[in-house]
Amino acid sequence: MNKLQKLFSHKRNDLLSLFFTAGYPHLEDTGSIILESQKQGIDFLEVGMPYSDPLADGPVIQQSSTVAIANGMTIEKLFAQLQSIKGEVEIPMVLMGYLNPVLQYGTEKFLENAASCGVSGLILPDLPVKEYVEEYKPLLKKYNMSFIFLITPQTNPERIRMIDDNSDAFIYVVSSAATTGKQSAFGQEQQAYFQRISEMGLKNRLIAGFGIHNEQTLQQAWKSLHGAICGSAFLKKLAAQKNVAEAVHLLRHDLAID
Tens of pLDDT, residues 216-253? 999 999 999 999 999 999 999 999 998 999 999 999 99
| pLDDT 10s digits, 183-201 | 567 889 999 999 999 999 9
Q: Under 8 Å CB-to-CB from 88, ≥6 apart: which residues?
A: 35
- The domain segmentation of the chain, as residue ranges, is 15-254
181 pLDDT more than 70: no
Which residues have C-beta within 8 Å of that of residue 178, sequence separation ≥ 6?
A: 58, 210
Collapsing DSSP to helix, strand or coil, 89 comes out as: coil
pTM: 0.94
* 68-111: pLDDT as tens digits: 999 999 999 999 999 999 999 999 999 999 999 999 999 999 99
Q: Beta partners for 138?
A: none
- What are the pLDDT digits (tens) for 202-213? 999 999 999 999
Domain 15-254: CATH superfamily, name plus number: Aldolase class I (3.20.20.70)
What is the Cα–Cα distance from 140 to 23, expressed in whole angstroms?
25
Confidence category of residue 54, pLDDT binned at 50, 70, 90 = low
> Active-site residues: which are they?
46, 57
Query: Distance between CA 77 and CA 160 in Å, rounded?
Result: 35
